[in-house]
Amino acid sequence: MRDADVQWLEGELARLKEEGLYTSIRTIESPIDAWVVIEGRRVLNFCSNNYLGLANHPRLRRAAQEAIDRYGVGPAAVRTIAGTLSLHVELERRLAEFKRAEACITFQSGFKANLATIPALMGRGDVIFSDALNHASIIDACRLSRATVVRYDHIDMADLRRKLAEHAQEAGRKLIVTDGVFSMDGDIAPLPEIVALAQEFGCITLVDDAHGEGVLGEGGRGIVDHFHLHGQVDIEVGTMSKAFGVVGGMVCGKAIVVEWLRQRARPFLFSSAMTVPDVAACIEATRILQESQERVERLWANARSFRAEMQRLGFDTGQSQTPIVPVMLGSAPLAQEFSRRLFQEGVFAQAIGYPTVPRGQARIRVMNSAAHSQEDLEFGLAAFAKVGRALGVIH
Ligand SMILES: *Cc1c(COP(=O)(O)O)cnc(C)c1O
């Protein structure tokens, strides 16, 4: 490769900067908690997916340390050859119990859980019906599967029905796939309607509950529990990288599906297993969730009060029904300027623009957490009010 061969990237990067779409990556110099240290300054953390404050929990830290003493750090193999430790088996057993599912298989991340699952079930000649705002990992997994992908309008059940009917005569397998909680807007998929349509049209259902895991349902058991749809959703994809505070992916569902994924899911067969400290910390996170609902309740109380106050100040907080609070700003440069000024006020909340959200819908997405105290929320609200007025977003 000569320098000239990558010259075009200079133009592309300059264009991102002009359009306010260039991401400046902040480096965090402390554990992930309610407050973090960035550039030597302590700032209020409003953008980690640390819903339950588990990322730096003493019990998870201790579990990881003890597991390292016993098992070392890495599995040094894929799960199907020599990478399955008793820890992996315990985590999967515990997760299935917690989620009230028949069976569970874990992956290295939520992203990989989708890449593992969708292509293992669907192929050429099959049809996947996919919500227009589904996560990038679902979009990529659908492409990898080589199935025909039919996008339906976001949570629009009439549009989904129309598209299911159009393809009703085709011979291949059919799958309806949706995010459970939409990560950038915080709204919830109408899962009971999706399940009913799937039954009517003979489709498999897959819900990716990355933002519902540890958040929705009784004690954080997720969207299937939230809607009391146990046994009716075929595949529930989840992550341990958000509310669980660690990293890892999971698929819960029928035992036969999990059994098939153990045989054919490519990231399970061809990418090394989750590491020892991650698995041990995830087991401890599941234990904490099984013991008490207190963190989940605190998360929701914080989210309700923060959202209500933001609306009272005059901010547009979109359609969210969950602890994700998008602060809609529209223009990407405005969102970036807003984020910079919040940072000056001691609040870390990143701007989000295209391609993570559609063009013209840039925003700051506030992630509420059980780790925030009432004083933290008040501090954050004061910063939003000050910057919002200075930039003419509120009056
Ligand atoms: C975050 C997210 C993922 C990716 O999970 P990781 O464990 O971080 O790889 C997948 N799907 C959805 C809907 C997400 O929000």
DSSP annotation of 210 reads T
Q: Which of 112, 163, 211, 226 is catalytic?
A: 211
What separation in Å is there between the alpha carbon of 249 and the centre of ligand 1?
8
**Residues lining ligand 1, judged by CB closer than 6 Å?**
109-111, 135, 137, 179, 183, 208, 210-211, 239, 241, 249
- Measure 348 CA to ligand 1 centroid, in angstroms: 21
Best probe residue, ligand 1, of 241, 278, 356 (max atoms within 8 Å of C-beta): 241
Q: Which residue, chain included where needed, has tokens 């240290």? A: 37
Return the residue whose CA atom lies nearest to atom 12 of ligand 1.
210
Which pLDDT belongs to residue 352?
Answer: 93
Residue nearest to atom 1 of ligand 1 (CA): 210
Which of the listed residues 133, 137, 209 should we mutate to test ligand 1's pocket, taking the one with most ligand atoms within 8 A of CB?
137
Catalytic residue among 183, 241, 339, 369: 183
* Ligand 1, atom 6: closest residue by C-alpha: 110
Indicate the angle between helix axes 294-313 and 374-390, nearest 10 degrees. Answer: 30
Question: Do the Cβ atoms of 348 and 43 come closer than 8 Å?
Answer: yes
Handedness of CA 35, 37, 42, 45 (dihedral sign): negative
Ligand 1 atom with least separation from CA of 247:
7
Domains and CATH numbers, the chain: 21-51+293-390 (3.90.1150.10), 58-291 (3.40.640.10)
Integer angstrom CA distances of residue 170 from 18, 164, 324: 47, 10, 39
Q: What is the dihedral of CA 285, 306, 110, 207, to 10 degrees?
A: 110
Instruction: Choose the catalytic residue: 88, 242, 320, 369.
Output: 242
Give catalytic status of residue 395 as yes or no: no
Which atom, in ligand 1's list, is nearest to the CA of 208?
Answer: 13
Q: How far is CA 212 from CA 226, 246, 306, in A?
A: 9, 15, 19
How high is the pLDDT of residue 2?
83
| Closest ligand 1 atom, residue 239 Cα | 7
pLDDT value, residue 67 = 98
Q: What distance lies between CA 219 and its chain's CA centroid?
A: 18
**pLDDT tens string 209-258:** 999 999 999 999 999 999 999 999 999 999 999 999 999 999 999 999 99
The rounded Å distance from CA 11 to ligand 1 centre is: 30
Which pLDDT belongs to residue 21? 82
> Is 135 annotated as catalytic?
no
Would you list the DSSP string of 27-81?
A: PB-S-SSSEEEETTEEEEE-S---TTS-TT-HHHHHHHHHHHHHH-S---SBIII
**pLDDT digit string (tens) for 91-139?**
999 999 999 999 999 999 999 999 999 999 999 999 999 999 999 999 9
DSSP string, 285-340: HHHHHHH-SHHHHHHHHHHHHHHHHHHHHT---TT--SSEEEEEEESHHHHHHHHH
Lay out the sheet containing 351-352: strands in order across. Answer: 324-330, 362-367, 351-352
For 389, the 3-state DSSP assignment is helix
Told to judge if 242 belongs to the known catalytic residues of this protein, a careful annotator would answer yes
Nearest ligand 1 atom to alpha carbon 49: 1
Look at residue 355 in the predicted model and tell me its pLDDT.
Answer: 87
Cα of 110 vs centre of ligand 1, distance in Å, is: 5
Consecutive 10-residue averages of pLDDT for the chain (395 residues): 88 91 91 97 97 98 98 96 97 97 97 98 98 97 98 98 97 97 96 98 98 97 97 96 98 96 97 98 98 97 98 96 96 95 97 91 97 98 98 96
Dist CA 67 CA 39 (whole Å): 32
pLDDT at 4: 86
Q: Report how far ligand 1's centroid is from the alpha carbon of 169 (Å).
A: 33
